[in-house]
Amino acid sequence: MFGIIVSALMLAFGIFLKLTKDPGFARNKKFAWMFIVIGLVALAFKIYMFNENK
């Protein structure tokens, strides 16, 4: 369950980086797609594994 929450937070942070206009995050915007992709893959895998064990 903890992994699902961490994956969702990583996905949300990637979306936040992609959409923010804050100049403090400007140099980190190139990592937005990395966080989004890793968050989606990890979330999908965690949900799959969660449903597979039932």
pLDDT in tens, the chain (54 residues): 788 899 999 999 999 999 988 888 878 888 899 999 999 999 999 989 888 876
Q: What is the pLDDT of residue 25?
A: 80
Q: What is the pLDDT of residue 54?
A: 65
Q: Other CB atoms closer than 10 Å to residue 11's CB: what's the count? A: 19
**Smallest Cα–Cα separation from 42: which of 32, 50, 52?**
50
End-to-end CA distance of the chain: 14
pLDDT in tens, 34-44: 999 999 999 99
